[in-house]
Amino acid sequence: MPGPSLDLDNNDNETEGRNAEPFANNVSGVGFNSHGGADSEIEPKTPERPEKVAVEDDVKRKQQVQMEHSKTAPADFRRMVKAVSSVNLMLVLNEIDDHFLKCSESAQEVSKMLEATRLHYHSNFADNRGHIDHSARVMRVITWNSSFRGMTNIEDRKDEFDSEEHESHATVLDKLLAWEKKLYDEVKQGELMKLEYKRKVAWLNKQKKRGATAESLEKTKAAVSHLHTRYIVDMQSMDSTVSEVNRLRDEQLYPKLVMLVDGMANMWASMCIHHDRQLKVVEKLKSLDVALSSKETTKQHHDWTIQLHNVVQEWHSQFNKLVTNQKQYILALNNWLKLNLIPIESSLKEKISSPPRAQNPPIQALLHAWHDCLEKLPDEVAKSAISSFAAVIKTIIIHQDEEMKLKEKCEETRKEFLRKSQAFEEWYHKYKQRRSALDEIDAGEDANAKDPVSERQLVVESLKKRLEEEAEAHKKHCIQVREKSIGSLKIRLPEIFRALSDYSHACSEAYEKLRSVTQSQKTNGAPS
């Protein structure tokens, strides 16, 4: 019969004396199989220590009790515990960052359309400092007696501007500006010539009243006739320029604006999707456990917080530019269109033929609707949310600064304590050696004399107490900073992405409305 195995669950194995007997029986039974026969292939095994087995068995019993307790817990509680443990702040922030990158990708079409990554030469400035000079190339083909279309270079090839469908938004605006400059110069010259014409006519009338000689009258009449002819020619040239401006407005600028509306509609539709997902992601932070965050602020953590604050401030600045620039651009186009639709009239008695003007061009309805839509967007709410988030991060930075100063103060106190403690131990060792030699001499001294050991020890103990107080203050401040930081993120992140989601939805609806305006005009025969 084989010897009994080591089993600490048996009630007979509760005492150390009883453990010895089965231990010996187990050793003596090694080498026999269950049928009592010899088994030469089995080597003797070193039995486990009873204490170790008892500890492992106790751990297993506790785990079993915990598992049974978790099974009896309510289902909602188990789901809540699982949700808390599954939320990770870094994963949430990484997912938010991924959606920002996708938002940026959705804006590439509009960015390319507006040549946002390129420097543009502004035609109001005469200097050329390496910027793209669209206007200079336009001006070289604009002359007094030749039109823009059909110009060829010395190699008898089409100028690149002849391919109007491949021109950019900025190029069309520069062409319009060049023709408007030409029109301005012609109107200015025409007004000066008109004043000169009126002055000559007034002088001719005076000569007639005074009874001037026929030769003088004929000379003045010839001058008046010459000025009148020049004025007629200038007005015809002006009408030609006006016709070209209107053609550029209707056949080039308006289609570019329609393309921009389509691009913006697609962009904001994509923005809606990603900002909605960001809002859904940050709502997970409600179940974030503060205990899972870092225990204290490190230098790297503090630098990252400062970097985040700078990025959010730049975000606020760029968002403000986006809102302001698109409003200013549409407002500028509306103001220009008002002047463009005002006819240039002559006060001369002679009728000068002018080309008919479209009083309600398609671009007018689009720009009016565009201006109204931009004014209704909730951009102030979004700007305020971003600004508030930047202020919250700034507050976190201040708390982190205080925490790091407390840690630095605590470290200085710890160094001082270690230095003085070591100095006290060295002094006390030497003092004991001297004291043992002087015990007989000091026996007759006053018993009330000050004890140098107590004095020095009191200094070390007070320093130790101060270190403990500072360490406790630093620990409490770490907890406060962590709780305030996580609490602020739980509140502010949903606010900012809710505002962005609302703004993106408003923009998407606005540009879909503008798209419907352009489509209705297209059915009415407007250029596209």
Structural domain includes residue 444 = no
**Model pLDDT for residues 410-439, shown as the tens digit of each residue:** 888 888 888 888 888 888 788 787 777 666
Alpha carbon distances (Å) from 276 to 263, 269, 271, 494: 20, 11, 8, 11
On whether both 205 and 224 belong to a single domain, the answer is: yes
The domain total for the chain is 3
On whether both 515 and 384 belong to a single domain, the answer is: yes
Residue-wise DSSP of 63-96: HHHHHHHHHHS-HHHHHHHHHHHH--HHHHHHHH
**Model pLDDT for residues 365-400, shown as the tens digit of each residue:** 999 999 999 999 999 999 999 999 999 999 999 988
> 482 is in which domain, residue-wise?
290-348+359-426+453-528
On whether both 69 and 95 belong to a single domain, the answer is: no
Structural domain includes residue 342 = yes
How high is the pLDDT of residue 12?
41
3-state secondary structure 412-476: HHHHHHHHHHHHHHHHHHHHHHHHHHCHHHHCCCCCCCCCHHHHHHHHHHHHHHHHHHHHHHHHH
Tokens matching residue 487: 């609490």
Q: Which pTM value belongs to this model?
A: 0.67
On whether both 339 and 466 belong to a single domain, the answer is: yes
**Model pLDDT for residues 309-368, shown as the tens digit of each residue:** 999 999 999 999 999 999 999 999 999 999 998 887 655 555 455 555 557 899 999 999
On whether both 51 and 186 belong to a single domain, the answer is: no
On whether both 207 and 306 belong to a single domain, the answer is: no
CA-closest candidate to residue 169, choices 128, 125, 110, 127: 110
Q: What is the DSSP letter of 152?
A: B
Domain with residue 313: its CATH number is 1.20.1270.60
On whether both 309 and 276 belong to a single domain, the answer is: no
On whether both 151 and 65 belong to a single domain, the answer is: no
Alpha carbon distances (Å) from 75 to 66, 72, 78, 86, 397: 16, 9, 5, 17, 40
